[in-house]
Amino acid sequence: METNNYNQYTRKEFESFADGVKKLSTILKSNNPDYIFAPIIGSVPLIDLLAITDRHFPLDIVEYPPNSSRFSDREKTIEKWYTNFLKKNYFGKKMKIICVDELISGSSAVKGYTEFQRVLYDYGKKIGERLEKKLDYEILGIGEMPKSRTRNHGIRSMLGKKKAYVVEVDRIITCDNPVLNPVKLKVERQTSSGSFIYKPEIEKFEISQDYLRLLKEFAEYFGVDPDGVESKNLMKIKESLEKYLK
């Protein structure tokens, strides 16, 4: 099977993934959200790729929550981020949020959703409003089937209730690949299994040659000038993480 010149993925996997991202773009346009959430560990590359498929992609409405089990004290961190997001952006009107995420088992995406609902309830009680009636949060995932061939019960329930939608691809080629993600977070510790637990702080941005090749390959696939592609929203990523955790 044909592979690209740096053996990260096959041509078939690339085309499946690229077509999936294009479909994500179409779905986002039709839903017209007020905000797009892109979890900072998994979804930064998706935003860069969406911006290539759609030159009018609304980068200004993207926010980057620290929604991952790889953050230390996850619940406290994401509760603070979500609460401050609401304080700064909710002004009494209805709001639609779509969380664009990588989705394999679906457990992390569901946890982000349930944590947001809990914050909605708590913050709503504080200001005397039923915020669950005014803020609509949906998951839009690019999906790779887990080895078990069965996803988390929570995500299956959300799919049935139309609170989540998954675009299936052969492989999420950016998933769990730090070379294909420009965000480098500060490491707090390493677990016994070798995984890293991160602080919700950016150490640096690093655009690897492999990542730049992916962006250019994506651009060529969709007939976009490859010389003009770059990683987007870098300062917005840093700002989004920091201002809601103050």
All structural domains of the chain: 11-243 (3.40.50)
CA–CA gap between residue 21 and residue 13 (Å, rounded): 12
In sequence order, the 6+-apart residues with CB closer than 8 A to the CB of 133 are: none
pLDDT digits 0-9 by tens, 116-169: 999 999 999 999 999 999 999 999 999 998 877 789 899 999 999 999 999 999
Mean pLDDT within 80-93 = 97
SS (H, E, C) 14-66: HHHHHHHHHHHHHHHHHHCCCEEECCCCCCHHHHHHHHHHCCCCCHHHEECCC
Split at pLDDT 50, 70, 90, the class of 85 is: very high
CB 140 within 8 A of CB 100: yes
Query: Where are the extended beta strands (E) located within 64-210?
Result: 95-103, 135-143, 164-168, 183-190, 196-205
Longest Cα separation, the chain:
59
CB 62 within 8 A of CB 239: no
